[in-house]
Each structure stands twice: as structure tokens, then as C-alpha cells.
Amino acid sequence: MPYLQKTDSEIYNLIKKEEKRLKDTLMMIPSENYASRAVEEAVGSVLGNKYSEGYPFKRYYQGQENADQIESLAIERAKALFGVEHVNVQPYSGSPANFAVYNGVLKQGDTIMGLSLAFGGHLTHGADASVSSKYFRAVNYELNKEGYIDYKALMELAKKHKPQLIVAGTTAYPRLLDWKQFAAIAKVVNAYLMADISHIAGLIAGKAYPSPVEYVDIITTTTHKTLRGPRGALIMVTKKGLKKDPDLATKIDKSIFPGLQGGPHINSIAGIAVALKEDSTKKFQKYVHQIIVNAQALAKSLMDNNIRVISNGTDSHLILADISNYGILGNTAAEGLEYIGVVLNRNSIPWDKNPPFYPSGIRMGTPGITSRGMKEKDMKQLGSIIAKAVQALGLQKKKSGITDSEERKRSFRTKLITSTKELKTLKADILKLTKKFPIPAAY
């Protein structure tokens, strides 16, 4: 990056520091992954200079001959990869994509039903803090005590509240979603059924997770995470959706532009097109199957090392663990693991007794570490390291006499982490893994 280095050394140095951080740590936040060099080159190209307000061959500015082809190519690749009738590739990200659907098919005050944030849903599925619950009436469904969606309870909730749209989607749920049962519930109350597959889109594209296309009307997804593309999103309309509402695609397109957005980011759309081409290969299919194999091996290793895994395993890329029996917060575990080079996040668990900002769990995933080439035997070692770190932090908290209220203060957590001697050894173990499995330069 010679031009950046010369023009802005501060930003250049921060980017270099981020490269080093990525190199020396394991990316285990489930919503993160490594985009290929090809994707990065498309995003960082001259396309970022072009303003392309409108849709292909229906733009408001001149000079669109290349932008039109790029966006059309991204659309056709998404349609082919997922087997859908219509795709909008212009949403800037996942949250705007979800709101664009609501804005397109609902009236203000209509009812949406999504999984509760506290039980693994997303903010945009009707959480109190989200605009989705301010413009629309939000009803949340929950998980049962075993950590699974209770479809019978969901049916009764739908009959009671009669939502106009049901969201089948999660952000911290490790098990398969039963698209057929969701469809049956939506049919009973005549609701649109929207699948938010942001976390599992790559798994679906790679045929490692059941596709919702046959059962739902609308599909939204981000394009990073398991798809390994740039930041962006897709809104897809299925044949079933068009049968329910022949104007559904038009409503959604108008909701994106001119309803909510201006000119699309053609450079990001180009990156999406590149990722979709990569996602259509046998190599990618092999990769996403390995993501799930790794996640299941990691879940087993954690449980073998006395870490409670919600629902006793996973069917996807994601694991949710309850570390409350070691007497520490998810915050402490996440920060302590970051200290040794394992980057994941704190997270609420189903029926959590603690508030969301100080939860009892941690959330982790295997897309990033699978991109680095790690396999099942490495998951066994990694699960042991994570468990040892959590257990050591719990013992050190007791030894130090830090109270639960003190632990909520970052200064006390930092003191606890830096005084836990075992972490230094574990940090060296993680660094060895990062050197053994370097960040991939390309795919």
C-alpha cells in the first residue's frame, strides 16, 4: 500500500497493526471470516468512484455500462447459487436489508414475530432497542429449557397474535431451523415467512445445511460471514413468495430504492459477485462441510473438558457455551480468551439470570479457523485450551476475592486476567497454532 503509506501514515500503521492482530490471533467470532484477495481487490478498485443510483439499465446517471453488467452478474450468480427467482444485491448491510423487507411488505403498526434477542435472535427481529420494534409491533418467541425452538409454542403464539410476517432466523442458535414447521405456522396465520440466513448462508450455498427456498417467501442474508464476501447483503424472493404476492419483488426493490437507500456501492457489489463465484465451487462445498465438522468436534472437546454447551452440541458453525458454573461473567471469559489470542464474544444464554451486558455465556464459531486450515484434531486441542483458560479465571477470581459486582468493572477484570498466571502458557500455545495455520492469502 505505497500510496496510503505516503499519504496517511496513521491509517496505514493502524491497518498494519490489524494485519498483525489477525495473524497472531484465532478469529472465532461466528460472524467473521476472511474474504479472499480477489474479493478485496474488487472492493478496493476504481468502482468505488462510480455513482449508480437506480437499477441495472434503469439508472439516473450516465456512464453505467460497466456498473450495469457488474450488478447483473452478481444478481444472476446469486439466483443460480441459491435457486431463487429474484435477488436485490444493493442493501448496504444485513440490518438495512431486514428493515427494507419490513418497510416493503408491511404497514406501520403491523405485527412481526422473531426469536427473542435474549434467546439467540437478532436486534432486527423485533428487539426493544431496534427500530424494527418502533415502527412495527414485535412479538418474540423463545427457546425451551433444552435450548431448542419450541415449534408447538410458536404455533400457539402465532395464532394468538396473528403476525403479518414471521422471521425464521438467528444469531446465536446452534441447531437446525425446521423450515417446514415455520412454513406450516406461517400458513395458518397467512403471514409472510422471511428467513434471515445471515449466519448460515455459506453453509446453505455449500449444501451443508438445509435450504429454506422451498418453504419461505423472502430470504435475507449478509454477504460476509460464511459466504466469505465483503460487507453487504442480499434480499431474495422465492417462487413461493411470488405465488403468494406477485408484486413482492417490486415492493422490495422499491423499498431499497428509492425508499431507504440512494446509490448502491458498486465496488462492494463487485466483491459480492466474486465471492458468489467462489461459493459455487466444489472446493467451497468441502470447506463449509469442514466448518460443521470442526464445530461439532470443538463442542465435544469443550464438553469433555467440563464446559456446558447449550443444547449439548451444534448442527452448524456456531457454539454457545454457559460458563456460569465457574463463577465468572461472559465478559471476563471473552476478555481473558482475547488475552491469550482466542477472539470470540460474550453472549446471553437461554434463560440467562444475568443481564445482556453481563451475560453468562460465550459464543464462538469455526468459519475463520477453518479458513486457516484447522481440522478436528486441532479442535480437540483448542477446546482444551479454552476450557483451561475459563477454569483458571474462575479459580483466580475466588483466590483474589473479587466480588460479582466488582467483576462488572473493567479495571477489576483486567486485574483478574493479568494475574492469572496460567494464561501466559496458554497464550504461547495459541501463538503456536497461529504460526502453524497462517492466514490464507487467497482461496
pLDDT of residue 442: 54
pLDDT(381) > 60:
yes
Give me the sign of the Cα torsion angle 145, 146, 152, 157. positive
pLDDT of residue 141: 96
The Cα 174–Cα 311 span in angstroms is 8
263 shares its domain with 362: no
175 shares its domain with 252: yes
The beta strands (E) that lie in 306-431 are given as 308-309, 318-322, 342-343, 345-347, 361-365
One of 124, 221, 222, 314 is an active-site residue; which one? 222
Q: Is 225 a catalytic residue?
A: yes
State the average pLDDT for the chain: 97
271 shares its domain with 384: no
pLDDT digits (tens, 9 = 90+) for 71-93: 999 999 999 999 999 999 999 99
Does any domain span residue 25? no
Q: Is 366 a catalytic residue?
A: no
271 shares its domain with 289: no
Q: How many domains does the chain have?
A: 2
Q: Is 170 a catalytic residue?
A: no
Report residue 190: phi and psi, to 5°.
55, 45
271 shares its domain with 324: no
One of 225, 228, 300, 397 is an active-site residue; which one? 225
Does any domain span residue 13? no
Domain final position from 229, 256, 279? 279
Domain final position from 235, 263, 279? 279
What CATH number has the domain bearing residue 386? 3.90.1150.10
One of 79, 231, 254, 415 is an active-site residue; which one? 231
One of 12, 51, 148, 151 is an active-site residue; which one? 51
pLDDT digits (tens, 9 = 90+) for 399-443: 999 999 999 999 999 999 999 999 999 999 999 999 999 998 655
One of 111, 124, 196, 332 is an active-site residue; which one? 196
Report residue 230: phi and psi, to 5°.
-85, 175
Q: Is 51 a catalytic residue?
A: yes
pLDDT(396) > 80:
yes
Residue 311 CA to its chain's centroid (Å): 19
Q: Is 34 a catalytic residue?
A: no
What value does the mean pLDDT take over residues 130-157? 94
Question: The domain containing residue 320 runs over which residues?
Answer: 282-436
101 exposure class (CB count in 10 Å sphere: 0-12, 13-18, 19+)? buried
pLDDT of residue 70: 98
What value does the mean pLDDT take over residues 179-188? 98
Torsion of CA 153, 155, 160, 161, to 10 degrees: 110
83 shares its domain with 177: yes
pLDDT digits (tens, 9 = 90+) for 22-75: 999 999 999 999 999 999 999 999 999 999 999 999 999 999 999 999 999 999
Interaxial angle between packed helices 266-279 and 65-82, expressed in degrees from 0 to 180 and rounded to the nearest 10: 40
What CATH number has the domain bearing residue 271? 3.40.640.10
274 shares its domain with 287: no
Instruction: Name the residue type at position 156.
Output: E
Q: Is 231 a catalytic residue?
A: yes
Q: Where is 55: in which H helix or E strand? A: strand 54-55
One of 24, 32, 53, 335 is an active-site residue; which one? 53
Does any domain span residue 127? yes
160 shares its domain with 201: yes
pLDDT digits (tens, 9 = 90+) for 307-361: 999 999 999 999 999 999 999 999 999 999 999 999 999 999 999 999 999 999 9
300 shares its domain with 205: no
Does any domain span residue 367? yes
For residues 259 and 342, the answer to whether their CB atoms sit within 8 Å is: no
pLDDT of residue 158: 98
Three cell numbers, residue 402: 473479587
In the chain, % of residues over pLDDT 70: 99
Measuring CA to CA, how many Å separate 316 from each of 164, 346, 382?
29, 19, 18
What value does the mean pLDDT take over residues 162-175? 97
pLDDT of residue 337: 98
Domain final position from 256, 279, 302? 279
